Amino acid sequence: MEKVFVTGRGLVTPLGTGLAANEAALRSGKSGISVVPEFVERHLDSIVGGVPDQNPPSDLLDRKTKRFCPPAGVMSVAAATEAFAEAGIAPEQVKDFDMALIGGQASSNALEIHSLAQSYIDRGYNLRAVSPFSVPRIMPSSAISILSLLFGIRGESFDVSAACASSALSLVQAARLIRSGEYDMVLVGGAEQIDWTVALGFCSCRALSTACNDTPERASRPFSSSRDGFVLAGGAAYMLLESERSVRARGVRPICKISGIAGNSSASDMVVPDADASSGVMAKAVADAGLKFSDIGYINTHGTATAVGDRVEIEAIRRLMKDGRSPAINSTKSQTGHMVGATGAAEIIFSTIMLEKGFISPSINCDDLDPEFADVDIVREYRECRFDHALSNSFAFGGSNACVVISRCK
């Protein structure tokens, strides 16, 4: 079975565009949450969000290509370009490799669908009001289609859609392709754009934070006694995964190893997480890495700041703490908000940065830690420390779960 290594990473998040900007924000505890003007204009209950640069510059995207490319695609191009650059591969060289491409996105372009339907109705049901480029722009797989087109990636490509676990499950699938020997390289990640049409449904089910509309930087409060829901966000995150054979042939130094992967389904409720399933998928990923839970030095939790979700996840972690020792725990969503389909890949990349650089970012806005979590090591201030193994959790609406273990290269 081939080993799986990370050789390149790219990020577009509410904390900034690029690895350097995101690392600096993680270290400083900066919040990427702000008031979203269109949420205000549409009279939503929650008016805050994590808004990235949804139109980052790219030399690869010309005017013609942009007609087919929604914001999720534009962000994906920027993130993938950075991932290839870190891996030492120029854009024009990508087509020379036998490479697969797997993306993760939770939803299609709802704003585009709304706009074209509204235009059709407003102009008297006239098809001329509907852009002929609309279909490629609303496909959930639009981002990976654009990446395949621009970089000339000819291996198999597909999109995983499993709500909040989409891009984490895309990485699970990518790792399996490399382990099996089918591919030596897979570009993998996910993207999600943020707009009022996506926020509308979450507002309706009362999942979003509303208590800090006047202080948006404090709105995302995982593990806090005053937590009142998650903060919607957008972004893109991509990684280049390679087999050991490919790493040696190219003579590159991998950043870290994907040592353990696992997925399962809660199969109990559409929106409420399940502690049995959550602990089960974590245990399975750790065992897949050939480790014990006590070997895990850091967990990047799903940590959305919902009352039930945080409680269930901590309970699932407790069940694995056989010796009573808690790994260091945080939620980077406290800084970014919830990037939905992109969040799994982004948080895995955040974990690789912290593993590589020897620090753990603070779970911000947790000065009023819920007393129920006092027995676990929730990191609330920037911490310098070395650890060899990290675990990243993704637990989604619909019951799709994924966990990934990232390990230091020996």
- Exposed/middle/buried for 236, CB within 10 Å: 0-12, 13-18, 19+? buried
> What tokens appear for 49 in the block?
């969000």
C-alpha distances in Å from residue 349, one per residue of 163, 215, 249, 334: 19, 28, 24, 16
Distance, in Å, from the CA atom of 216 to the CA atom of 209, rounded to the nearest integer, reads 10
Q: Does the active-site annotation cover 43?
A: no
Instruction: Indicate which residue of 164, 203, 256, 403 is catalytic.
Output: 164
Instruction: Indicate which residue of 69, 302, 389, 403 is catalytic.
Output: 302
Neighbours of 101 (CB within 10 A): 27
Distance, in Å, from the CA atom of 193 to the CA atom of 88, rounded to the nearest integer, reads 28
Q: Does the active-site annotation cover 389?
A: no
DSSP per-residue letters across 375-395 = TSEE--S-EE---SEEEEEEE
Instruction: Indicate which residue of 338, 366, 389, 403 is catalytic.
Output: 338
Q: Does the active-site annotation cover 302?
A: yes
Distance, in Å, from the CA atom of 377 to the CA atom of 393, rounded to the nearest integer, reads 16
Q: Left if phi > 0, otherwise alpha if psi is -120 to 50, otherwise beta: which for 157?
A: beta
Q: Which helix (H) or strand (E) holds 185?
A: strand 185-192
402, amino acid identity = A
Q: Left if phi > 0, otherwise alpha if psi is -120 to 50, otherwise beta: which for 47?
A: alpha
Distance, in Å, from the CA atom of 144 to the CA atom of 150, rounded to the nearest integer, reads 10
Of the candidates 149, 170, 158, the one whose C-alpha atom is nearest the C-alpha of residue 95 is 149
> What tokens appear for 240 in the block?
């280049």
- Exposed/middle/buried for 401, CB within 10 Å: 0-12, 13-18, 19+? buried
Active-site amino acid positions: 164, 302, 338
